[in-house]
Amino acid sequence: MTFFNFEADFVDSLRCIPMIVRLKLDTCGVKLKLAEWNHFSQSECEQLVELPCEKSVEVNIYKEYVSKLIFQHTKNEASLLSIDPHPPWLNDREIPASITIKASESQTEISLTQWSSLTPLQRFALIKLTKSQHENNNFLPALSEFGLLN
């Protein structure tokens, strides 16, 4: 299981959706709302953390499982998202503009060498942290955790 230090305030209880699960949700194309996540049992949340979601078969299994959980707990069908065939977190040769802009707001510059040295999950987390208003306070701690602060 991979959790980040900036997620430490909630990963023990899994009261929020950790980045590893959010990456898998984007990979399989399911939108999971926090209210839906909070209906799941601790063991179901742990399953969503642990289940693989990289190979085509795994992605389909993951999508079916999370969709089943959403329906089982809420009686609503899962909301589906389009899947980006070339997501920016898998591109280690181009830093998304949102990252450059957000880093510069923190008086930090991320080089292409630094960007390419990050794992896809770390790149995913930085991208998500530039988009979500309520998580912007985790962008700087993430930069620090990933060794990107000047």
Tens of pLDDT, residue by residue over 35-94, are 999 999 999 999 999 999 999 999 999 999 999 999 999 999 999 999 999 999 999 999
Helical spans, DSSP H, in the chain:
8-11, 19-28, 34-37, 42-50, 56-74, 97-105, 112-117, 120-131, 139-145
Condensed to tens digits (0 to 9), the pLDDT of residues 12-33 reads 888 899 999 999 999 999 999 9
pLDDT at 132: 66
Nearest residue to 49 via CA among 39, 37, 60: 37
Q: Reply yes or no on whether the pLDDT at 1 is more than 60.
A: no
Measured distance CA(25)–CA(53) in Å, rounded: 9
Q: What is the CA radius of gyration of the chain?
A: 16
- Mean pLDDT, range 107-117, rounded to an integer: 96
Mean pLDDT of 133-142: 80
Residue 141 pLDDT exceeds 70: yes
pTM, entire model: 0.93
Ordered alpha helix ranges (H), 38-111? 42-50, 56-74, 97-105
